[in-house]
Amino acid sequence: MTTLTTRTAAQAASERVTAKPKRRGAHWAAIAFVVPLVIYLVLFYAYPLVQNLTMSLHRFDRGTFINGGAPFVGFEIYQSVFEHPQFWTIVWQTTVFTAVSLAFQYLLGLTLAVFFHRGGFRLAAPLRGMFLVPWLLPIIVSGTTWQWMMNPDDGILNSFLGLFGADPVWWLSADNALMSVAIANIWLGIPFNLVILYSGLQGIPKELYEAASMDGATPWQQFSRITLPMLRPVTLITLLLGLVYTLKVVDIIWIMSMGTGTSQTLATWAYGMSVGKGASGVIRYSEASAVGTVLLLAALAFGFIYIAAQRKQEH
């Protein structure tokens, strides 16, 4: 009995000794996985954000941007941005562009998602794949294609309108540019909404629809009382991601109109000031950084609204 007890104690001690290196190995393995992520976040998120904030509080020009020594001016840059004669016009154009893009991207994406989810026909998968083409194409290709389609002389849109005797439309003129770039951006965003919402629809139990049909619910009642409520979490994150993306859209607008006229948004305004092109014409690093900070704060505000909505839904 004493010998057995001695062996058991010895085995337990041996297991404790071997367990320590295993725990240490797991600890170092966890660190090895975390360190690259931390480095990435610091280099590509934290550092640029700090630099952007620093530039918005100092008066930078080409010389001080390269050599340093920009004077600290506090919130003077923000004041000059807010007092700019075009600031609130650009804010309004950004709001319209974002709201119209989000609304149509979501509605069209939801319509297509419901169609493919309930279709059940053979060509559903190939057609669903075709709708992903706008998402897969490089932005330069999409923007150039839309620019050609909206050409006032030989664009396909005006050619189509000419079949009905309509006059040519100057799609990318100063007055119509906002509508035109919004159309192109909606086309680009539909596939994202389609994929996310279609995945959400697949997570809704079919038994709910079967029970509703047995109770005599119409297709609209099933959609409004089952589909939409069950899709609410997916809808919130889809709209939030779409909002953040749309607020910072530069590429499609710049390719089509260079952010001139009504297509000028806060993002294109900041980009134009940072490179001295487009509607700006003069390099203004500090003002561009201040506008970027305003966009960041707007995105954070909507992010907090999303978190509050999620918590309210959970409780």
CA 64 vs CA 3, 73, 151: distances in Å: 81, 14, 42
Global pTM reads 0.86
Q: Please report the pLDDT score of residue 91 as a whole number.
A: 95
Nearest to 305 by CA among 244, 226, 230, 227: 244
The percent helix, strand, coil of the chain (3-state, each to 5) is 75, 0, 20
Q: Cα 38 from chain centroid? A: 23
Report which DSSP code applies to 84: S
Contact of 180 with 257, CB cutoff 8 Å: yes
Other Cβ atoms within 10 Å of 44 Cβ, number: 10
Q: How much is the pLDDT for 309?
A: 80
Amino acid, single-letter form, for residue 92? W
Q: Tell me the pLDDT of the chain (315 aa) as tens digits.
A: 555 455 555 555 555 555 556 666 677 888 888 999 999 999 999 999 999 999 999 998 888 888 888 899 989 999 999 999 999 999 999 999 999 999 999 999 999 999 888 876 677 777 877 888 888 889 999 999 999 999 988 889 999 998 898 888 999 998 999 999 999 999 999 999 999 999 999 999 989 988 988 888 888 999 999 999 999 989 999 999 999 999 999 999 999 998 888 999 999 999 999 887 765 567 888 999 999 999 999 999 988 988 888 787 776
Tell me the one-letter amino acid at 253.
Answer: I
Q: What does the pLDDT read at residue 181?
A: 96
Q: Which domains are assigned to the chain?
A: 87-263 (1.10.3720.10)
Number of residues in the chain:
315
In the chain, the largest separation of any two C-alpha atoms, in whole Å, equals: 106
Contact 254, 268 (CB under 8 A): yes
pLDDT at 4: 45
d(CA 208, CA 310): 23
Query: Strand, helix or coil at 72?
Result: strand
